[in-house]
Amino acid sequence: MRNCASPKEQNNHNTRAVANRFRNIEPPVFEEETELLRTPKVPESTESQAEPASSGESMQESTNSKTASWSRKLLGGEMLTTRKALKQFPLIVLIVVCAILMVNNRYAVERLRKEVIATHKRIDQLSLEQIQLKSQYQQSIKISSIAQSLDTIGIHLITEPPLTLKN
């Protein structure tokens, strides 16, 4: 290992060594890519001069080869080690954190919504119970119901005044 003047330089050296180690790894090849690799590549200028009718096919082949090279770079890890990708890393981390927070927020809102629904059901039950109890109370304080309950004990209501006043 190389002796560096500072820990920062040593860290940069280690990072470069790891990146170089992974650049030499061959990415996996898929069936679609092998078909593209088997077809010989003809320069576009020669093909367009020879057959003007097949220009659509050559554009499709060049698009397929660009897609294949892009996917090869992505799967091989080359795309993640470029400077452009490394500059975008904080943005990617921010997007991932925001996505996690959004999912967490959705679950929290769903839980609160269920609690609100349960609370509304409980409020409806209690209001019905309150109406029923109020009705029973109103019935019990009527004079006729009081007289009926007093009759069972043996006390009768007076229907005429106890004394008559003379003028």
Confidence band, pLDDT 50/70/90 cuts, at residue 44: low
Q: Structurally, how many domains does the chain consist of?
A: 2
Q: Are residues 92 and 68 in the same domain?
A: no
78 and 115 housed in the same domain:
no
Contact status, residue 21 vs residue 81, Cβ threshold 8 Å: no
Question: Which domain covers residue 60, as residue numbers?
Answer: 1-44+55-86
CA atoms within 13 A on the CB side of 108: 6
The pTM (predicted TM-score) of the whole model is 0.40
Is 40 a residue whose pLDDT tops 60? no
Q: Which domain-ending residue is among 86, 103, 138?
A: 86
Tens digit of pLDDT for each residue in 111-150? 999 999 999 999 999 999 999 999 999 988 888 888 888 8
What local confidence, expressed as pLDDT, does residue 59 receive? Answer: 58
Distance separating alpha carbons of residues 133 and 121, to the nearest angstrom: 19
16 or 50: which leads in pLDDT? 16
Q: CA-based Rg of the chain, rounded to a whole angstrom? A: 44
In a domain, 167, yes or no: no
Tokens 């004079």 belong to residue: 143
Q: Are residues 77 and 102 in the same domain?
A: no
Query: What per-residue string of b and e applies to 79-108 under the rule 16 or more CB within 10 Å gives b?
Result: eebeeeeeeeeeeeeeeeeeeeeeeeeeee
Same domain, 28 and 81: yes
46 band by pLDDT with thresholds 50, 70 and 90: very low
Distance in angstroms (rounded) separating the CA atoms of residues 26 and 12: 24
The reply to whether 6 and 77 lie within a common domain is yes
Domain contains 49: no
Query: Does residue 50 form part of some domain?
Result: no
Average pLDDT over residues 101-113: 97
Assess whether pLDDT exceeds 70 at residue 5. no
Nearest to 44 by CA among 26, 31, 57, 25: 57
Count the helix, strand and coil residues of the chain and give each as a percent rounded to the nearest 5.
75, 0, 25
- Reported as a single tens digit per residue, the pLDDT across 48-91 is 444 444 555 555 666 677 777 777 777 777 766 777 777 888 89
Q: Quick one: CA dihedral 160, 161, 166, 167, positive or negative?
A: negative
The verdict on 134 and 146 lying in the same domain is yes
Is the same domain home to 79 and 94?
no
Q: Assess if residue 101 is contained within a domain.
A: yes
